[in-house]
Structure 1
Amino acid sequence: MKKIVFSYMALPLMLVSVSAAAVTPLPSAPIKVLAAGSLTGAMTAVAQLYTQQTGQKIDAQFGPAGLLRERIESGEQADIFASANMEHPQALADQGIATPAVVMVRNRLCAKALPDYKLTTENLLDRLLDPQVGLGTSTPKADPGGDYAWQMFAKAEKVRPGAQAILEAKAQQLVGGKNNPPVPAGRNAMEYFFAEKKVQISLGYCSGRQTTPDPKFASVPLPAALAITPSYGLSVITREKKSHEAAYRFALFLLSPQAQKLMAQYGFTPVTVPAED
């Protein structure tokens, strides 16, 4: 027989959720979720599954987690915040407007290039340091993906002295911020910058918005010495004076093995796993 092992950090949220679910029917009002853009495919799939099973509608909106946090701090109503890091939801908790952040899933940082570029894990650092190679990243502070890229640059310094300054100087913050370079309407930003030969390599998450890899790009994991393992934080927003039982229920579902297995299909690493007796 199998048993389910949950992240210990999730226990307070689970206990509240279970007690609420036992006594209250699901409301008809949609649960509003503000979630990191990298969760678009996975969260949408989980929300659709939850609605099919319970009838509860989910209004999920996606964007750079740092900018979503600013929206919540500015007073925007939301029920759940799912960030690509732990810092943003925990900052809301520290302000008394959200539950303490728990780890929902984990991810990895990958490098992407066009297939004919022949990028590999082994030649990645050499390619990144090549003066002729354009490097695209997300925007630090506004988007955790940018923060993780800068963490990788710091690790590169330990592998090859002088690498951090070179990478920070050449990194082009192309997405995830308020003032990124313009992109034609209807075009994917990174695809556009690759097509314009503005970049030859981009740093981002290994997960995708689909369950299958994008054939337009080759995605390679970082070497062990440069590896970054982002933890995604989950919080229930408690500022609004209303019942949050439905929000707690959906938060609990996000931590369930069923939802975690579905998110794993999009490239995320589950934090709740089945274990053998």
Structure 2
Amino acid sequence: MLNPAVKLGTSTPKADPSGDYAWELFRKADQVRAGAYAALDAKALKLTGGPDSPKPPAGQGTYAWVMDQSQADVFLTYCTNAVASQKEVPRLKVVPVPVELQVGASYGLTVRQGAPAQAEAFAKALLAPPAQATFARYGFGKP
């Protein structure tokens, strides 16, 4: 990503959480290599998620379209977006970032006491093997 010849695409920080995560990764990169944050911040192309971001044609995914149009050589995004984009444009390659640069989020699920039975059933369904297999296909880890 630091190679000046590589066009680095991101979502727009402060407008899209994916962009916020990208800039957090840039901060982590600076801990690995001094000056990386400034270089990545300066070169990152904010191609999606902002109010003025170009929109793909109907029926095309945003990230797949950006990459298919060669707007970026590399696009830093969620695993779920990368996997979906590769399904749409099979020649794309999903490359996990090194562990020292990974930015993660912890998600929780709460069912309110006294909630309708459907809420409890929904929570149990999300934790069941079929749903977990679906999450795994999109790059989510196990709870």
Q: TM-score range by the shorter chain?
A: 0.7 to 0.9
Structure with bigger gyration radius? 1
**Bigger fraction of residues in strand:** 1
2:79 and 2:138 in contact (8 A); partners too: no
Q: Distance in 1 between matches of 2:108 and 2:15?
A: 16
Out of 269, 272, 275, the position equivalent to 2:141 is 269
Cα contact 1:261–1:270 (8 A) shared by 2? no
C-alpha distance in 2, partners of 1:161/1:148? 19
How far apart are 1:228 and its partner, in Å? 2.4
Alignment of 1:47-126 (within 5 A): none
Shift of 1:217: 0.6
Pick the aligned partner of 1:231 from 87, 106, 122. 106
Q: Which amino acid is the alignment partner of residue 37 of structure 2?
A: Q
Alignment of 1:184-203 (within 5 A): 184-203=57-76
Task: Report how far residue 233 of structure 1 moved.
Answer: 4.0
What's the TM-score, normalizing by structure 1? 0.43
Q: SS of the residue aligned with 2:107? A: strand
Paired amino acid for 1:152: L
Partner SS for 1:137: strand
Cα distance, 1:137 vs structure 2? 1.3
Q: Which has the higher contact order (CA 8 A, sep 6+)?
A: 1
Structure 1 residue 248 corresponds to structure 2 residue 123: no
SS in 2 for 1:199: coil
CA RMSD of aligned residues (A): 3.0
After TM superposition, give the deviation of residue 155 of structure 1 in Å: 0.6
* TM-score, with length taken from structure 2: 0.76
Q: For 1:204, what is the secondary structure of its paired residue?
A: coil
Partner of 1:176: 49
The unaligned stretches of length 5 or more in structure 1 are 1-127, 238-242, 272-277
- The structure with the largest helix share of the pair is 2
Aligned equivalent of 1:61? none
Q: What SS does the corresponding residue of 2:22 show, helix, strand or coil? A: helix
- Aligned residues between the structures: 140
Identity of aligned residues (%): 45
